Amino acid sequence: MNISPILTIAGWALLIGLGLYIFSVISLRSQRREMKISVVVVVLLLIGGLGLNVLGSGLVFIDQFEAGVVVSPLTAGGVRPDPLGPGIHFVIPFVETVDRFSTAKQDYTMSGSTNEGAVQGNDAVEARTSDGQQVYIDATVRFEVDPTLVVQLRRQWQSQDRYITGFVRPTTRNVIYNIAAHYVVEDVYGAKRSELQQVINDQLTTEFQKQGLVLDAFQLRNITFSPEYAQSIEQKQIAQQQSEQAKLLVKKAQQEADQLRASAQGQADAAVTKAKGDAEALRQVGAALKDNPDLLTYTYIQKLAPNVGLILLPAGGNNPFILDLNQLQQQLPKPSGITTTTPAVTETLPLTTTLP
């Protein structure tokens, strides 16, 4: 708590009381009333009033987020070399004064928005890239005063308002302008935006340290372009999107063509396999007929009566010819994996049956 104003007020109150006391004594004596001035009262009020004023003028309270610089005509350079930290300090009353500097974090914003930033209106940093494109950069610097270097800051800029308007603002704008000139416009809004922000941050850190300031952060808030270039960027993005879409359509068509080609190849392979199987079956049937011509007769009879196992046929003269169909069936080629069972049925065809 800063008690200096309280002491000063109390001191002036005692001096005013002293004046009222002397005035009342003089007033009573002018009315021919017997009234004596008390020397003790006068001395106490005088010493008390002066003493409290001296204390109030000499005691200085520095807040937690402040640093003080003692301005003294008794010191070379006009200021004490050591700053005042938080707490109560004593300076020479009525001779020395204290300039206070905030050590809390401060933000300074430069923006193109009308109602945003330290300066009203369009305060964006206007810069030009290495390829000649004009860009407008919104930025914020967050900084604080180094308490150990506050005397140096006071000697250089005298007050807090002056170092903000005389150093923070112009230095930040100058660094942004110079560094942006080393990048092409595609890098500024593209892949190297973070790099641009970091390079500016590093450069500002060095510049701020020279003045007794600590840069906490530099924020590249927004980057805008001239209307013509902004329109060209939009058209380029649209073209890229259309190109990507066209690539997807081509890829999809290629996949569908590959599927149709694979399906056609599968059908062709199946047809070839079936043809080979049919040819093999015909070869086996031909071989069987060559070894036993009666198989052709068997095939015909199977068409007429599938369940017949034994046939008695006329064979010249009076002796019938017996044909064992089961035996003939076993000589026919069979598809693999299929078992054929012919019921054991014996049937004698009429002797009047005529075979073609």
Q: Each residue's pLDDT tens digit in the chain (356 positions)?
A: 667 788 888 888 988 988 888 888 888 777 777 667 788 888 888 888 888 888 888 888 999 999 999 999 888 888 999 999 999 898 998 899 999 999 999 999 999 887 787 888 888 999 988 988 888 999 999 999 999 999 999 988 888 889 999 999 999 999 999 999 999 888 887 778 899 999 999 999 999 999 999 999 999 988 888 777 766 665 666 666 667 777 777 888 788 878 888 788 888 777 778 777 777 777 777 777 676 766 666 666 666 555 555 555 554 555 555 555 566 566 555 554 444 444 444 444 444 444 44
What residue segments make up the domains of the chain, in order of their start? 4-65+79-97, 106-225, 232-290, 292-356
The per-residue pLDDT for 55 is 84
The per-residue pLDDT for 219 is 93
The per-residue pLDDT for 208 is 95
Cβ contacts of residue 36 below 8 Å, gap of 6+? 25
**Token pair of 51, please?**
């003493």
* Cα distances (Å, whole numbers) of residue 316 to 2, 319, 321: 149, 7, 9
Amino acid at 172: T
| CB of 107 closer than 8 Å to CB of 79 | no
| CB of 18 closer than 8 Å to CB of 45 | yes
Using the structure block, give the residue that is written with the tokens 């100058």.
174
Please indicate, yes or no, whether the overall pTM of this predicted structure exceeds 0.85: no
Distance of CA 103 to the CA centre of its chain: 32
User: Which CATH code fits 106-225?
Assistant: 3.30.479.30
CA atoms within 13 A on the CB side of 250: 6
The per-residue pLDDT for 1 is 60
Q: Whole-angstrom Cα distance, residue 118 to residue 138? A: 12
